[in-house]
Amino acid sequence: MAAKKTNAKQEAIRKGMKFGMEFELFTLDEEGRMTNAGEKLIKRVKAASPSIDIVKECGKNMIEIKTFPHNNIPDILFKAMDDFESVLHSAEKEGIVLYPYGTYPGTFSPEFSREKGYKMKEQIFGKNRFSIAARCLGLHCHYSLPWGVFDYTKKVIKHLVNSKNKQSMVNTYNLFIAMDPALTTFAQSSPFYQGNFLGKDSRVIVYRGGDVLKYPAGLYTNHQDFGMLQPYKVTGTDLLQIINHRFDSWNDILKKVNISLKAFMKHGSILDTTWNPVKISSHGTLEQRGMDVNHPRIIIAVATLIEYITRDVQENFVQILPSDIGLTEPFKKEGNIIYIPPHTHVRFELQPRAAYEGLSNNDVLNYCRGLLKLGKQCVPKERLPLIEPLEKMLKNKRTVSDEILNDAKKMGFSKNIPNKQAAELALKHSKDLFKEIIMTKQLIKKL
């Protein structure tokens, strides 16, 4: 009887497992210069393909394509690429080039969208800091929370006691934080910011900011609670406490600038008031939102890696254990335990090393190898080809940031790059996007 009950619960988890993603893109003109063509492109896409969820972002030079979490679509990865292809077709008809990397290599001054929420953020952060948001592109991956822990009516985590699924949520949350330095390294595509080389992941540096990343001018430097890579939590109560604390803190900030909290909450949930690299969203998902946008194959590889590790942790109630074992053998799986390093090591040591040095740092390289090794134990054999780009990346010790830097050096620039050459570089790294999408779709379909 007990075995049947356990199997029924695991089946409920499988049926409820949802996955979705959001990725942002810059709009360039045909000479590779930044252009405010987001609204024009969105209008064209919606006229041609109304089912595609394409939306405005904070900058008029940006768009976002969404595939919200579903469990009734045969393959959300294929849909994401199919939508991407349709958007690219519309862009070509409008003479727009789509740039799919974390930051644009040259300098530009963004214009903000007129939506009320963005105006509020500009007021809170200040125009100069908020400009960072319109100069950065992110990849956000959503994975459903374990069955029964989320109230979809109130859009909050349920207050549960002695719940195995709630502890599984905490385990997944902590694992997502531990994975951040490896995932941001795999996805890094932003060596230049405003014409200057800051680090292999300039987007992470300028977006998160703060003392840990040694960037005082960052977007979230003065609001670290809402944008930093956070510590682990021990229990569901700890997680609820920090969510409530951030909500109260954000409410205080809004009061100081005479902004209504109700007007700011996008989905009417307290979960709408945080933008950390790992967050529980008002969609009832755990969201990994710390990565650069990248090549289609790399987007799919990273999303697949996270998806199947998450499935394993939630379906088999795997324990995620912070331990010194995780310092030397990160993501080691032993029985039903996965060892991760202490959060202080992840946040204060690995996070900045990943952002500034990437795979040229041996500790970061070893950390990425550990996560990929774990992923290969969780990803079904027939889907292993989807994560091959990550294996190749580690073998060559080269990320997309390294490739962009190498091309810039061939042009005679390494520490900074003039706008004319930045436009040439941007065009070069955008030209094969259509071909890459088709090849990625073919691979997914074959599998």
Mean pLDDT of all residues belonging to the chain:
93
Range of the domain at 146: 2-446
pLDDT > 90 fraction of the chain, expressed in percent and rounded: 86
Confidence (pLDDT) at 116: 77
Residues 44-79 have pLDDT tens digits of: 999 999 999 999 999 999 999 999 777 655 689 999
Confidence (pLDDT) at 161: 86
Pick from 112-116, 133-137, 310-314: least confident = 112-116
- Confidence at 3, pLDDT banded by 50, 70, 90: very low
Examine the pLDDT at 305 and tell me if it is beyond 50: yes
Examine the pLDDT at 360 and tell me if it is beyond 90: yes
pTM of the model: 0.95
Examine the pLDDT at 219 and tell me if it is beyond 70: yes
Residues 321-335 have pLDDT tens digits of: 999 999 999 999 999
Examine the pLDDT at 278 and tell me if it is beyond 50: yes
Confidence (pLDDT) at 117: 80
Distance from C-alpha of 24 to C-alpha of 140, rounded to nearest angstrom = 9
Virtual CA dihedral for 76, 79, 83, 85, nearest 10 degrees?
120
Confidence (pLDDT) at 400: 98
Confidence (pLDDT) at 1: 45
- Confidence at 259, pLDDT banded by 50, 70, 90: confident
Distance from C-alpha of 10 to C-alpha of 28, rounded to nearest angstrom = 47
Confidence (pLDDT) at 69: 78
Q: Which two tokens stand for residue 27?
A: 């709009």
Confidence (pLDDT) at 16: 56
Which of 190, 178, 270, 183 shows the shortest CA–CA distance to 229?
178
Residues 6-47 have pLDDT tens digits of: 444 444 444 456 889 999 999 999 999 999 999 999 999 999
- Phi, psi of 186, deg, nearest 5: -55, -35
CA 45, chain centre distance (Å) = 24
Q: What is the CATH number of the domain that holds 344?
A: 3.30.590.20
Residues 279-303 have pLDDT tens digits of: 999 999 999 999 999 999 999 999 9
Number of domains composing the chain: 1
